[in-house]
Amino acid sequence: MVSRVRTVAFQGVEAVPVDVQVLVAPGKVGMGIVGLADKAVTESRERVQAALHASGLSMPPKRVTVNLAPADLPKEGSHYDLPIALGLMAALGAIPADALQRFVVLGELSLDGLVTPVSGVLPAAMSANALGLGLICPEGGGSEAAWADPEMDILAPRSLIQIANHFRGTQRLARPEPVQEDASALALPDLRDIKGQTVPKRALEIAAAGNHNLLRVCYIN
């Protein structure tokens, strides 16, 4: 039986849907990842196996094959760790496979089973929302993902154990809320504190007033 988990590949700021397919079958013991994956993705097998072991789940004495479809789309980054791990857990019966069908998943795993932050959470959330799906992301990215849609189903676990317990019904993960920093509490520099530099300050003021872009050029001797 093949378990499937949805994730994304990033092309610039665009999140392209990717289907993570996990098959556990008789054969030489080990895990293989196919689907035009770069080195960071192929290294996922080491992080996934260590994280599962730390979470109390042993790897099966069988051949595990992970396919990232479409196979002709380059896959880069460490955010495939969590979807691969959840797909493997579903294939082993540790979590219900049908529960994952409602989510797009991304996140990096540490060796002790914690889910660590990754970049691209907001584009992934927007892509998932456009497909009518929820999002499973690291705890550190939950407030960012919450900006995609106030009604969107978002799970932001701290660890593999948390997400497994959530799907088994023994623990409830609350939906993260969007967080907006209080600008008044930020100690930002002010142009009036700069002495001299009249022309550069005027250029910055004009750019800010007109909402123009600025190009910073650094000279290295």
Q: How far apart are CA 12 and CA 24, in angstroms?
A: 33
Does 66 map to a domain? yes
Does 24 map to a domain? yes
Helices 81-91, 160-168: axis angle to 10 degrees equals: 40
Indicate the pLDDT class of residue 115, thresholds 50, 70 and 90: very high
Q: What is the pLDDT of residue 12?
A: 85
Does 52 map to a domain? yes
Average of per-residue pLDDT across 198-211: 84
Average of per-residue pLDDT across 201-217: 81
Q: How far apart are CA 45 and CA 129, in angstroms?
A: 29
CB–CB of 134/155 below 8 Å?
A: yes
6 lies in which domain range? 2-168
Does 124 map to a domain? yes
Does 211 map to a domain? no
Indicate the pLDDT class of residue 116, thresholds 50, 70 and 90: very high
Indicate the pLDDT class of residue 185, thresholds 50, 70 and 90: low
More confident residue, 217 or 210: 210
CB–CB of 26/63 below 8 Å?
A: yes
CB–CB of 66/22 below 8 Å?
A: yes
More confident residue, 120 or 193: 120
Average of per-residue pLDDT across 97-123: 96
CATH code: domain of residue 81:
3.30.230.10
Query: How many domains does one find in the chain?
Result: 1
Does 202 map to a domain? no
Q: Which of 20-24, 181-185, 201-205 has the lowest mean pLDDT?
A: 181-185
Does 33 map to a domain? yes
* Residue % of the chain over a pLDDT of 70: 95
